[in-house]
């Protein structure tokens, strides 16, 4: 079945996403679905306050990617970015372990001011998306801060402390969340109204679980077809610390089977990298899951949607 | 009498300053006095909160000028500045009537964070000056916000609203201040310990009066020799809206006599532009008061100090 404009026939797709990998798949979905058919639910467990500003790394990566502004290689921030404010903060002895670009700073300044004025994060995100000309709807997973915390060999760290300041080095024993567990109401509505859920190739522990663990999300997903894209390719994470986390948290090697086990009971199907071993117990589709070009993103998105039409 | 290192013999000079003109004279004083001999008291009545950040335009202009970082022409901000964050804020529909450069933003971010952490403005200013390698001591006139307000033909406006947003156009009927009237304690101490007070060629109404009107400042100054540099040259302000304000507020033409009348009872002497008519009732020194080059600043500063040694 083919949709009214192009691509497969799902009319209301909800994608769950963290940063880089998830954002690229979302960009592909945006290329093959009409804008009104796609809602993106983004992890905000990595959010933090830095330089007095509310930073939402995954929301920003998804926004910048869909706006065509994302840095093509580094996985965070903007293309053609400058770091003049950062240089001055560093010169003045301010906190310099997290690099913030100048354009990026403009986003954080506007967001922080709107939040301080009482606007909800979902409303601020919608405003930013409108200004940046983004078609699909982007929702933060929740309105209020809910931080992902990691119990590590070096004590309990928040996500940015662990990933950026400590470079993801301390072994992780447990991942948990602190803060109100209410999902953004629009997230539950979007899931209820959807006919397909796509879980992007993001880190299950720190990008997707924080969404799944919000009140009512798993129950809402139970009634829907859910397909995921494996973030593990050839036994390694395409980007980031996931492979080590699987070993530390699941006690097994990183593989599509480990991803399938992590999401057991939730998935109708798993898209895996061509050549990787198919997991038992769930339908899987071999595809090219490493998205180097924008065409790669659209091709993978089309594969995911086509696969979702044929899984049970 | 010549001091231990160079220049005239005043050992503890306090300069009162607003932005551009005052900052240039302060730079000249810093060139001819040992760093420990100079304390600069800076107007903070123009301070405001913008993009959620505490902006101190006059403090910053004095800091940037003494650090050799000030923009050589425009009278605010930094040389070699970029405006990437501003461009993004503008794109996102944020308030764009006041341009903030990227490096400048770094200063505001650090200051705002330190203030939010409970540091006093004088302590934060000292930290910034140390980081920027500034020798003379720079003091804000007061620790807490005290805003200069203008009753105008278009209603009551704060200073930046009037000067920047409304381009200084609405005629001014009255200038007043709101907020606690306590001077920074270090300001009163510095005046008490000084042997000369220099009032820079700043706007008397909106740059100097806010300092003079703080509790105890006029009383402390009464015991000290005070010399000022006229900000009026050839009947016009060197920069800014002063000439019109003199007409509106004092009902007379802009001239050194109008400046002398404004400061009557306070001044031992007034340095005026060569060729301008000397005011009656106060000692005056004709000099080159327009500071185009850094040499001009040092020369005028040396003239001011030499003049101060011979006025009654």
Identify the closest residue of chain B to A116 by CA–CA distance. B52
For the segment A46-103, what is each residue's pLDDT rounded down to a tens digit? Answer: 999 999 999 999 999 999 999 999 988 887 889 999 999 999 999 999 999 999 999 9
Question: CB–CB of B308/B196 below 8 Å?
Answer: yes
Cβ separation A116–B52 shorter than 8 A: yes
Torsion of CA B272, B273, B274, B278, to 10 degrees: -40
How many C-beta atoms lie closer than 10 Å to residue A35's C-beta?
A: 11
A257 sits in the region (left: phi over 0; alpha: psi -120 to 50; else beta) called alpha
CA distance readout (Å), A251 to A168, A237, A245, A247, B86: 18, 16, 9, 5, 48
Start-to-end CA span in chain A (Å): 16
Q: Is residue A9 pLDDT above 80, yes or no?
A: no
- Pairing mode, if any, of strands B172-178 and B147-152? antiparallel
Contacts of A94 in chain B (CB under 8 A): 106, 109-110, 113
pLDDT of residue B8: 54
| Binary contact (A109, B94; C-beta < 8 A) | yes
Q: Estimate the share of chain B in helix, then strand, then coil, as percent rounded to the nearest 5.
A: 40, 20, 40
Length of chain A counted residue by residue: 312
Chain B interface residues facing chain A, Cβ-Cβ under 8 Å?
A: 51-53, 81-82, 84-89, 91-94, 101-107, 109-110, 112-113, 116, 127-128, 131-132
What's the CA gap between B39 and A157, in Å, rounded? Answer: 45
* Tens-digit pLDDT profile for residues A148-177: 999 999 999 999 999 999 999 999 999 999
| Count of alpha carbons within 13 angstroms of residue B90, beta-carbon side | 12
> Would you call A112 and B87 a contact, using CB atoms and an 8 Å cutoff?
no
Partner residues linked to B285 by β-bridges: B271
User: What stretch of H or E contains B86?
Assistant: helix B84-91
Euclidean distance between CA atoms B301 and B245, whole angstroms:
26
Q: Which residue of A has its CA nearest to B52?
A: A113
Q: Are A103 and B84 an interchain contact pair (Cβ–Cβ within 8 Å)?
A: yes
* Interface contact flag, B84 A86, Cβ < 8 Å: no
pLDDT of residue B10: 80
Helices B102-116, B121-131: axis angle to 10 degrees equals 140
Q: Do A127 and B84 touch (CB under 8 A)?
A: no
Provide the shortest C-alpha distance from residue A33 to chain B (in Å). Answer: 26
Query: Above 60 in pLDDT, residue B7?
Result: no
Model pLDDT for residues A188-221, shown as the tens digit of each residue: 999 999 999 999 999 999 999 999 999 999 999 9
Listed residue (A265, A302, A262, A310) closest to A284, CA to CA? A310
Domains and CATH numbers, chain A: 13-48+135-310 (3.40.50.10680)
Mean local confidence (pLDDT), B194-201:
98
Q: How far is C-alpha A218 from the chain's CA centre? A: 17
Q: What angle do CA B215, B219, B225 make, to 5 degrees?
A: 130
Counting beta carbons within 10 angstroms of the beta carbon of residue A5, is it exposed (0 to 12), middle (13 to 18) or buried (19 or more)? exposed
* Separation between Cα atoms, residue A253 and residue A258, nearest integer Å: 7
Residue A288 has pLDDT above 90, yes or no: yes
Disruptive mutation site among A60, A82, A100, A109 for chain B (greatest number of B CBs within 10 Å): A109
């Amino acid at each position: 079945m083919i949709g009214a404009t192009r691509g497969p026939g799902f009319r209301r797709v909800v994608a769950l996403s963290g940063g880089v990998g998830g954002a690229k798949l979302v960009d592909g979905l945006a290329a093959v679905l009409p804008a009104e058919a796609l809602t993106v639910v983004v992890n905000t467990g990595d959010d933090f306050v830095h330089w007095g500003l509310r930073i939402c790394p995954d929301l920003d990566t998804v926004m910048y990617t869909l706006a065509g502004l994302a840095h093509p290689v580094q996985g965070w921030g903007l293309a053609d970015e400058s770091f003049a404010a950062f240089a001055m903060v560093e010169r003045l002895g301010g906190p310099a372990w997290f690099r913030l670009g100048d354009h990026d700073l403009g986003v954080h300044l506007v967001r922080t001011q709107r939040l301080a004025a009482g606007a909800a994060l979902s409303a601020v995100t919608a405003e930013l998306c409108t200004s940046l000309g983004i078609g699909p709807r982007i929702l933060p997973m929740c309105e209020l801060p809910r931080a992902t915390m990691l119990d590590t060999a070096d004590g309990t760290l928040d996500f940015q402390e662990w990933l950026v300041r400590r470079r993801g080095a301390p072994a992780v024993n447990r991942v948990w969340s602190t803060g109100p567990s209410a999902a953004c109401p629009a997230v539950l509505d979007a899931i209820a109204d959807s006919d397909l859920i796509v879980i992007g190739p993001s880190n299950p522990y720190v990008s997707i679980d924080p969404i799944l663990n919000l009140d009512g999300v798993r129950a809402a997903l139970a009634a829907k077809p859910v397909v995921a894209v494996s973030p593990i390719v050839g036994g390694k994470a395409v980007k980031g610390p996931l492979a080590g986390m699987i070993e530390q948290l699941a006690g097994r090697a990183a593989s599509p089977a480990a991803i399938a086990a992590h999401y057991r009971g939730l998935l109708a199907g798993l898209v895996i990298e061509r050549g990787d071993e198919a997991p038992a117990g769930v339908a899987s589709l071999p595809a090219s899951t490493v998205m180097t070009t924008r065409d790669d993103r659209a091709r993978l998105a089309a594969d995911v949607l086509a696969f979702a039409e044929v899984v049970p």
